[in-house]
Amino acid sequence: MAEFQTHEHDVLVIGAGGAGLRAAIEAAAGGVSVGLVCKSLLGKAHTVMAEGGLAAALANVDERDSWKVHFADTMRGGQYLNNPRMAELHAQEAPGCVHELESWGALFDRTRDGRILQRNFGGHAYPRLAHVGDRTGLEMIRTLQDHGIHQGIDVHMECTVVELLKDGSRVVGALAYDRERGRFRIFRAKAIVLATGGIGRAFKITSNSWEYTGDGQSLAYHAGADLMDMEFIQFHPTGMVWPPSVRGILVTEGVRGEGGVLKNSLGERFMFNDIPEPYRKSTSDTPEEGWRYVTGDKNARRPPELLTRDHVARCIRREVREGRGSPHGGVYLDIAWIKERIANAPDHIRKKLPSMYHQFMQLANIDITAEPMEVGPTTHYTMGGVRVNGDTQMSTVPGLFAAGEVAAGLHGANRLGGNSLSDLLVFGKRAGAHAAQYAKAHGSGAIDIHAVDTAAQKALAPLDRTGGESPYQIQQDLQEMMQAKVGIVRQESELQEALVELDKLKARAAKASAPGNREYNPGWHTALDLTCLLTVSEISARAALERKESRGAHTRDDFPDKVAEWGKFNLVFRRGTDGGMVVERTPLVPLRDELKQVIEEHK
């Protein structure tokens, strides 16, 4: 048997993005010992890339805002598949979490009277996103990191968890390897918080980094937890499309929030042509009114560019398909035009969107203050994930918690921009607190050393094999297949094909080999990540096949309409006792009467 270095913590947090850091801080405040592991260095998780802002009904810019409006917006955006308890807690607790961040040193942009400034974003009725230019995520992760390092948390950087360890039904630890040396480590813990983010690397065109291989979802699934809403993957309408090497990199919705407009090759603002019924009342019908809205006129209605992401992405896809796209298969996003309306527009744009300016200048030779950008949809966010209790964030496996993008429930069928950063704070905090409580109430469990040994052997297999295929090639083929068959618009035959392809890819992955040794070997890491990607890709494809309607981010060509009956269920996947995938239609978490009324009032 191999030697394992063992670490012992009351609470182990897996993932050091906003959710993981917030959970670790809260758990430490609960008086238990806390370990934090992450695949990259501290401060480099996805959260650092978030641009536009963090949604919280502070009502600093528009006093009509309140948690009720935020709640109603979140539910409408999620097409009512959300866990209403989570949407409620999120809307109520986000403002406090933002202030807490400020008390730890975060510096948001200010209103004239010195309070936190808020900006417009798609699907939010009022300006609601606290922000720092277009680098809000950096501000948030750095604040949490700089606060967190003084809370007595043990941080294990560049360390990847490959298996959760159980004692009976309960989770009691995790097996990981450190990337630098490739040595295995056992983490014993009384409670574990998953905060590992999404699955965006399953697709070819994506705004997500190498880390987003669905590890948390896959670990939870194999540990027996329920995964929910896995058919709902958000394609952000505006990613870069040219040059090819930057395809998929995000262009923040903040561009549209600041007045950017979408145009096709005919110069037409095509978003005016298709405004969905639920939003008709609240959407402007003239460019004039749209401009007044983004410049703060409270009587104006929002421009159609700020409709929800699923809808904008589909409209862009339609323009491109019908031949009205830009030269490189996107459409135009124009912020430069605001020079017709305001003096010193270029300065204003550089001030409000500095990293977008820099990104286009550096990577595409485009000056966004002078010319339009070319944009198209990119895989962005995973609404589905580990099914959790709305109050405690505990999964269906005792002792296993989940928070942030890896968890399901808050966003339902579609997430509103800005609702993720607030999600991380609200539910990271809750998960940390409840994990600490759980750890205090339960002793340590026993580690099954045979399970550890088997998992370690399995992890080493790609290194031991020779002559197999390169894991990079398999990952690339998987991404192309998922993009083509489980992408923005889906249909039965393609989804069936996807499942057949997935079987073949799994067989190839089982024979892949990674040359080299255990020390900082990205080929080996890719081979291990691939097993997680394949698990979550299969669940997403199966879920997409199962849901025979179009709703939110899930669009079926063969079932183009929303079906009321389907609005009553979430799709839940779990591993059956025989190891096969079990799918279940689980009735929605019931909506309390007073919340029903809140939704009615803000329709």
Ligand X SMILES: Cc1cc2nc3c(=O)[nH]c(=O)nc-3n(C[C@H](O)[C@H](O)[C@H](O)COP(=O)(O)OP(=O)(O)OC[C@H]3O[C@@H](n4cnc5c(N)ncnc54)[C@H](O)[C@@H]3O)c2cc1C
Pattern 2-41, another protein, x by CB under 8 A: --------------------------------------xx
Which residues, including other chains, have CB under 8 Å from residue 496's CB and lie 6 or more apart? 545
Q: Does 519 bind another protein (CB under 8 A)?
A: yes
Q: Are 353 and 335 in contact (CB under 8 A)?
A: yes
Amino acid letter, 184: F
Q: Are 43 and 145 in contact (CB under 8 A)?
A: yes
**25-33, 141-149, 333-341, 554-562 -> range binding another protein (CB under 8 A):** 141-149
Binding stretches for ligand X (CB under 6 A)? 14-20, 37-40, 45-47, 49-54, 136-137, 160-161, 195-197, 207-208, 211, 215-216, 250, 381, 404-406, 417-421, 424
Pattern 476-505, another protein, x by CB under 8 A: x-----------------------------
Only one residue has tokens 């417009």, namely 120
Pattern 424-463, another protein, x by CB under 8 A: ----------------------------------------
Nearer to ligand X, 495 or 532 (CB): 532
- The 3-class secondary structure across 86-148, one letter per residue, is HHHHHHHHHHHHHHHHHHCCCCCCECCCCCECEECCCCCCCCCEECCCCCHHHHHHHHHHHHH
Q: Does 245 bind another protein (CB under 8 A)?
A: yes
Nearer to ligand X, 20 or 30 (CB): 20
- In whole angstroms, what is the distance from residue 301 CA to residue 298 CA? 8
Per the residue annotation, which of 9, 256, 380, 387 is the catalytic one? 256
Q: Does 185 bind another protein (CB under 8 A)?
A: no
Exposure string for 454-474, b = 16+ CB within 10 A, e = fewer: ebbeebbbbbebeebeebeeb
- In whole angstroms, what is the distance from residue 229 CA to residue 81 CA? 9
Nearer to another protein, 78 or 182 (CB): 182
Q: Which residues are bridge partners to 54 per DSSP?
A: 130
Nearer to another protein, 143 or 218 (CB): 143
Q: Are 222 and 397 in contact (CB under 8 A)?
A: no
Q: Please confirm, yes or no, whether 256 is among the known catalytic residues.
A: yes
Per the residue annotation, which of 236, 380, 415, 556 is the catalytic one? 236
Per partner kind, with CB cut-offs from 5 to 8 A, the member of another protein, ligand X, none near residue 445 is none
Q: Please confirm, yes or no, whether 222 is among the known catalytic residues.
A: no
Which residues, including other chains, have CB under 8 Å from residue 49's CB and lie 6 or more apart? 137, 207, 209, 250
Instruction: Identify the DSSP state of 336.
Output: G
Q: Which residue is nearest to ligand X (CB)?
A: 17
Active site residues: 236, 256
Question: Residues interacting with another protein, by CB under 8 A?
Answer: 40-46, 48-49, 99, 102-105, 107-110, 113-115, 132-133, 135, 137-139, 142, 146-147, 149-150, 155, 157, 180, 209-211, 242-246, 249-250, 355, 358-359, 362-364, 470-473, 476, 514-517, 519-524
